[in-house]
Amino acid sequence: MTPKGAATLSPNWIETLLPRVDFRERHSIDIAAPPGRILDCSMDYRLKHDPLVRAAVKLRELPMHMLGRTSRPPFDQDDFTFLGRDGDSTLAFGLVGAFWEADYGLLPCGSVEDFRSCAKQDVCRLVLSYTLLPLTHGRARLTTETCIYCPTSATRRRFAPYWYLIRPVSGLIRRRMLASVRTRAERRSKVRTLTG
C-alpha cells in the first residue's frame, strides 16, 4: 500500500532523485507471490526483526553509544524518507547524511521535495529502491538497489572508505532482507490461497 500523499514514481525516477550515481549495490531474489504483495512486504520490512541484522546495527552504532552521543533508537527503515511508488513495480526510499560519522550524520528529510532540494555539499544522498520484474508461473524477481550520490569530490573521498568497509555487511543485510520479504510474501500467498 502506498502511504497517503506519497509521490508516484516516473519512468525515469532515479534521474529525478539523484543527479548521478557515484556508488551502487544491487541484489535480487525470485519470489512466488503477486507483485503487489511483494512490494507491500518490502514496505513492511524492518531491520530489527532479524537478530543477525540487529546485531550488525548494534555493532555499527557501538562507537556513538560508547561516546554517549545518542539516545535515538537503532537505525532502521523508519529513518528513511518514503520517496514514491510506481504501482506494483517500484518502491523508493531516501536518506541524507554523512554516513561515515558515528551517528550517520543524518539530516531531517520530511518529503521527496526535501530530498531532491538538499543542497548541502558535505553530505550524501542515498536512494534505496525495490523493483519487480514479472517472471513466469506466478513468480517475480525482486531487486533491491542502493544508489549513492556524493555532491563533491571531497565528499566522495570521505564516503569511499566507509562504503568499502561496510559493503560486505550491507550486502549481507540486503540478502537477508530479500529472503525475509520472500518468506513473508510467499507465506501470505499460501494463506490467501488456503482461505480464499
Residues 6 or more apart from 133 whose CB is under 8 A from it? 140, 141, 143
DSSP 52-120: HHHHHHHHHTHHHHHTT---SPPP-GGGSEEEEEETTTEEEEEEEE-TTSTTTTB----SHHHHHH---
Domain-embedded: residue 2: no
Structural domains of the chain, count = 1
| Grid cell of 177 as nine digits | 532482507
| Grid cell of 82 as nine digits | 518514503
Contact 31, 41 (CB under 8 A): no
pLDDT at residue 75, rounded to an integer: 87
- Locus of grid cell 529472503: 179
pLDDT at residue 61, rounded to an integer: 83
State the greatest distance between any 2 C-alpha atoms of the chain, in Å, as a whole number. 57
Domain-embedded: residue 4: no
Domain-embedded: residue 10: no
CATH of the domain at 147: 3.30.530
Domain-embedded: residue 89: yes
- Residue 137's domain comprises 15-195
pTM of structure: 0.86
| Grid cell of 122 as nine digits | 558535505
Domain-embedded: residue 6: no
Residues 6 or more apart from 77 whose CB is under 8 A from it? 45, 46, 47, 93
Domain-embedded: residue 53: yes
Domain-embedded: residue 9: no
Contact 88, 75 (CB under 8 A): no
Contact 107, 118 (CB under 8 A): yes
Count other C-beta atoms under 10 Å from residue 161's C-beta: 10
Contact 94, 17 (CB under 8 A): yes
How do the pLDDT tens digits run along the chain, 196 residues long?
445 445 566 556 788 899 999 999 999 999 999 999 999 999 999 998 899 988 988 888 887 767 666 667 788 888 999 999 998 999 999 999 999 998 899 999 989 999 999 999 999 999 999 999 999 999 999 999 999 999 999 999 999 999 999 999 999 999 999 999 999 999 988 766 555 5
Domain-embedded: residue 1: no
CA-to-CA separations, 142 to 40, 54, 58, 162, 166, in angstroms, rounded:
12, 23, 27, 27, 23
* H/E segment holding residue 42: helix 35-44
